[in-house]
């Protein structure tokens, strides 16, 4: 995901990586740390969005969120379904915590790129609306759509 973000986001940014276990409390703590303590405006998670008992990333995200943004998950599943029939098993979604947008992505690297390509044009406007940093994108890769500017 770091390479994706470096390719798409042109404004100055830092990337903070966490590799954590599939444990809801651990995921919640990491999300709170990144949003509240580190001050991230965008947090991307990968994996843990399926129907298996250990897939608890959506529950962890919902537990720390102030608002859910179901449109992100709806679009990510729709574009993934064009590639694999098991996309209907996915539980990706997005939420807001303070001025941080959290997006839950699948675990497969190709699926991550497919999902981010589908939703990233809306990410800068969303981050603007919730009070996060102004994100600029590489228009040759993803053109940010900002109807609220």
- Residue 135 covered by a domain: no
Residue 149 clears pLDDT 80, i.e. is over it: no
The pLDDT tens digits of the residues spanning 76-97 come to 999 999 999 999 999 999 999 9
The enclosing domain of 105 has a CATH number of 3.40.980.10
Residue 148: pLDDT band with limits 50, 70, 90: confident
Structural domain range at position 32: 2-129
- Residue 56 covered by a domain: yes
- Residue 140 covered by a domain: no
Phi, psi of 59 (to 5 degrees): -65, -40
Q: How many domains does the chain have?
A: 1
Q: What is the 3-state secondary structure (H, E, C) of the chain?
A: CHHHHHHHECCCCCCCCCCCCCCHHHHHHHHHHHHHHHCCCEEEEECCCCCCCCCCHHHHHHHHCCEECHHHHHHHHHHHHCCCHHHHHCCCCEEEECCEEEEEECCCHHHHHHHHHHHHHHHHHHHHHCCCCCCCECCCCCCCCCCCC
- Residue 146 covered by a domain: no
- Residue 98 covered by a domain: yes
Q: What is the pLDDT averaged over residues 92-104?
A: 97
- Residue 144 covered by a domain: no
- Residue 58 covered by a domain: yes
- Residue 145 covered by a domain: no
């Amino acid at each position: 995901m770091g390479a994706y973000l470096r390719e798409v986001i042109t404004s100055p940014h830092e990337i903070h990586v966490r590799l954590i276990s599939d444990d809801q409390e651990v995921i919640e703590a990491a999300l709170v740390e990144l949003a509240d303590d580190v001050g991230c405006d965008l947090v991307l998670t990968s994996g843990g969005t399926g129907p298996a008992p250990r897939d608890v990333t959506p529950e962890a995200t919902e537990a720390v969120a102030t608002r859910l943004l179901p449109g992100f998950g709806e679009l990510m599943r729709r574009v993934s379904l064009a590639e694999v029939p098991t996309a209907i098993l996915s539980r990706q979604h997005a939420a807001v915590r303070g001025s941080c947008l959290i997006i839950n992505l699948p675990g497969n690297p190709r699926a991550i790129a497919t999902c981010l390509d589908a939703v990233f044009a809306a990410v800068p406007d969303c981050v603007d609306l919730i009070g996060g940093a102004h994100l600029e994108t590489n228009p040759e890769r993803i053109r940010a759509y900002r109807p609220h500017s």
